[in-house]
C-alpha cells in the first residue's frame, strides 16, 4: 500500500514526534520517582513472552512475503525474518529466566544478534544469496536455542552484565553496537520510504526506531528502575507496531483473497452459463445428426441399384444371372432392386389376344385409334 506524497510530511512529523517523546519520557520519570525500584518479575516475563510471540509471528509472515516476492524486495524480508526469529526464540528464554541467571545477558544477545541480521539489508544482493541456502532458518533456530540453553545452564562461562547494580563495560559496548546497527536499519527503511512511499517501509522504520530507542534506554537505565521499565515498554511498543503490521497485512491479504474469490465465482458462473448453452447446442446438433444418420441409413437400406451390362435374350427378354441361369426379367429386377411388378395388358395386346374385349372398350371410349391406356387385371 502506498502513502500519497501529500500525506508523507505528516507521517515524517509523526515519526519525529515518536523519537522526541521517547527521549523526553526516558528522562522525566527520574524527576518524579527518583529511581525507586519497581521489581515485578511476573510482569516482565509476561511482556517478554508477548514479545516472543510477536517476533516469531513477524518472522513467519516476512518469510511468506519473501517467498511471494523476494526478488522484488532484494531479499530484505528474508533477512528481517531471520532477525525476528532469533529475537523471538531468545525472548522466550528471557521470559523463563531470572535476574542473576542470564536475564540481562539473554536480553543483550537477543538485541545484538537480531540487529546484525537486520543490518545485513545494507549489503547489496546478500539477502537474495543467503535466502537460497535452505538450511539457514534451521541453523538460526538451532543456534538461538543452543545459545539460550547455554546461558541458562552455564551462566558462569559468559561475561557479567551487572556489577554493583550497574551495567558493566561489556554490557554497555554490546548495546552501543546494537544501537548503531538498529539506527542504520531505521535509516535504510526511511530512505526506502522516501523513495517508494510504501506503508510497509514506514512501519518498519517505526519498528527499528523504537528498537534503537529501547537499546539506548537499556544502556542508560538502572535495572528495575522506572527508566528500565520504560525501556521494556518501548521495546514492547515496537512489538505492538509489529503486531499492527501483521494484522494489517493479514487484512490486506484477506481482502485480496475475497476479491479474488468473488472474481473467480463470477467467472465460474459465466463460464457455467456458457457451457450450459454450448451443451444444449451440441445436444441439439447431436439429435439432428442422429436423425439424419438414421434417415440416411434407412434410405441406404432401401436403395438397390442395377449397374453394369445385363445379358438379355433378344427374343424372350430373359436375363442371364451370375450363375449362368436365365431368369424372367421381372424376377431378376425384383431380386436386385426394390422395384415391384404388377401385371396388366396393353391395348395392342388386348386387340390381338382379346378382340371382343377390345371392341367393347373401343366402342365405349368412342375411339378409332389406339389409346395409350392400359387394362390392368389383378
Instruction: Give dist(CA 111, CA 87) in Å, integer.
Output: 7
DSSP conformation letters of 289-321: HHHHHHHHHHHHHH-----S---B-TTT--EE-
CB-CB contact of 358 with 351 (8 Å) = yes
CA distances from residue 19 to 25, 180, 192, 239, 318 in whole angstroms, order as listed: 10, 15, 19, 16, 124
CB-CB contact of 314 with 321 (8 Å) = no
Give the count of beta carbons closer than 10 Å to the beta carbon of residue 308.
4
Task: Work out the angle between the directed axes of helices 226-302 and 199-220 (0-180°, nearest 10).
Answer: 150
Three cell numbers, residue 49 = 513472552
Instruction: Give dist(CA 169, CA 155) in Å, integer.
Output: 18
Give the count of beta carbons closer than 10 Å to the beta carbon of residue 278.
10
CA dihedral (214, 217, 223, 228) in degrees, to 10, reads: -70
DSSP conformation letters of 332-357: HHHHHSS-----EEEHHHHHHH-HHH
CB-CB contact of 15 with 209 (8 Å) = yes
In the chain, domain spans: 8-267, 306-341, 344-378
Say whether 167 sits in a helix, a strand or coil. Answer: strand
Kindly report, residue by residue over 187-218, the tens digit of the pLDDT: 998 898 888 878 778 888 888 888 887 777 76
Kindly report, residue by residue over 244-292, the tens digit of the pLDDT: 776 777 777 778 788 888 888 888 888 888 888 888 888 888 888 888 8
- What is the per-residue pLDDT for 373? 47
- What is the per-residue pLDDT for 228? 62
CA dihedral (118, 16, 174, 226) in degrees, to 10, reads: -130
User: Angle at Cα 335 formed by Cα 334 and Cα 341, nearest 5°?
Assistant: 10
- What is the per-residue pLDDT for 369? 52
H/E stretch holding 375? strand 374-376
- What is the per-residue pLDDT for 27? 59
- What is the per-residue pLDDT for 119? 93
Buried b / exposed e over 227-243, threshold 16 CB at 10 Å, is: bbbbbbbbbbbbbbbbb
Residue 330 CA from chain centroid, whole number: 81
Kindly report, residue by residue over 246-257, the tens digit of the pLDDT: 677 777 777 878
Give the count of beta carbons closer than 10 Å to the beta carbon of residue 63.
20
Instruction: Give dist(CA 338, CA 302) in Å, integer.
Output: 7
pLDDT tens, N- to C-terminus, the chain (378 residues): 667 677 777 777 877 887 777 666 665 555 455 455 556 667 777 777 887 888 888 888 888 877 776 545 678 889 989 999 998 999 899 888 876 667 778 888 888 999 999 999 999 888 888 888 889 999 999 999 999 999 888 888 888 877 776 778 888 888 889 989 999 999 998 898 888 878 778 888 888 888 887 777 766 666 666 666 677 677 777 777 776 776 777 777 778 788 888 888 888 888 888 888 888 888 888 888 888 888 777 766 655 555 667 788 877 778 777 777 888 877 777 777 767 777 777 877 877 777 877 777 777 776 455 445 444 443
Instruction: Give dist(CA 62, CA 84) in Å, integer.
Output: 9
DSSP conformation letters of 76-133: HHHHHHHHHHHHHHHHHHHHH--TTTTHHHHHHHHHHHHHHHHHGGGSTTHHHHHHT-
Amino acid at each position: 500500500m502506498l502513502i500519497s506524497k501529500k500525506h508523507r510530511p505528516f507521517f515524517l512529523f509523526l515519526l519525529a514526534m515518536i523519537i522526541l517523546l521517547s527521549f523526553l519520557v526516558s528522562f522525566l520519570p527520574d524527576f518524579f520517582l527518583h529511581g525507586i525500584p519497581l521489581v515485578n518479575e511476573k510482569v516482565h516475563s509476561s511482556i517478554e513472552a508477548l514479545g516472543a510471540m510477536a517476533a516469531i509471528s513477524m518472522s513467519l509472515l516476512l518469510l511468506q512475503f519473501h517467498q511471494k516476492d523476494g526478488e522484488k524486495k532484494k531479499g530484505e524480508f528474508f533477512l528481517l525474518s531471520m532477525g525476528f526469529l532469533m529475537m523471538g526464540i531468545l525472548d522466550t528464554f528471557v521470559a523463563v529466566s531470572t535476574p542473576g541467571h542470564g536475564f540481562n545477558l539473554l536480553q543483550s544477545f537477543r538485541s545484538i544478534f537480531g540487529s546484525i541480521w537486520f543490518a545485513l539489508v545494507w549489503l547489496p544482493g546478500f539477502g537474495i544469496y543467503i535466502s537460497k541456502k535452505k538450511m539457514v532458518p534451521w541453523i538460526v533456530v538451532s543456534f538461538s536455542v543452543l545459545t539460550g540453553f547455554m546461558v541458562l545452564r552455564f551462566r558462569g562461562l559468559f561475561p557479567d552484565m551487572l556489577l554493583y547494580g550497574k551495567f558493566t563495560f561489556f554490557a554497555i559496548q554490546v548495546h552501543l553496537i546494537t544501537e548503531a546497527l538498529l539506527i542504520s536499519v531505521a535509516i535504510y527503511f526511511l530512505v526506502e520510504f522516501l523513495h517508494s512511499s510504501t506503508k510497509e517501509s514506514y512501519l518498519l522504520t517505526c519498528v527499528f526506531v523504537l528498537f534503537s530507542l529501547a537499546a539506548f534506554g537499556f544502556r542508560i537505565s538502572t535495572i528495575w528502575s522506572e527508566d528500565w521499565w520504560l525501556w521494556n515498554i518501548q521495546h514492547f511498543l515496537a512489538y505492538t507496531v509489529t503486531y499492527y503490521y501483521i494484522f494489517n497485512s493479514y487484512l490486506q491479504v484477506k481482502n485480496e483473497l475475497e476479491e479474488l474469490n468473488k472474481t473467480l465465482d463470477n467467472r465460474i458462473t459465466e463460464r457455467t452459463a456458457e457451457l450450459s448453452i454450448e451443451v444444449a447446442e451440441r445436444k441439439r446438433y447431436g439429435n439432428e445428426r442422429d436423425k439424419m444418420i438414421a434417415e440416411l441409413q434407412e434410405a441406404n437400406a432401401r436403395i438397390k441399384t442395377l449397374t453394369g451390362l445385363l445379358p438379355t435374350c433378344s427374343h424372350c427378354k430373359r436375363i442371364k444371372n451370375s450363375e449362368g441361369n436365365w431368369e424372367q426379367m421381372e424376377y431378376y429386377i425384383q431380386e436386385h432392386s426394390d422395384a415391384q411388378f404388377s401385371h396388366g395388358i396393353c391395348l395392342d395386346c388386348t386387340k390381338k389376344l382379346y378382340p371382343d374385349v377390345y371392341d367393347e372398350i373401343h366402342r365405349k371410349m368412342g375411339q378409332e385409334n389406339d389409346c395409350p391406356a392400359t387394362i390392368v387385371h389383378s
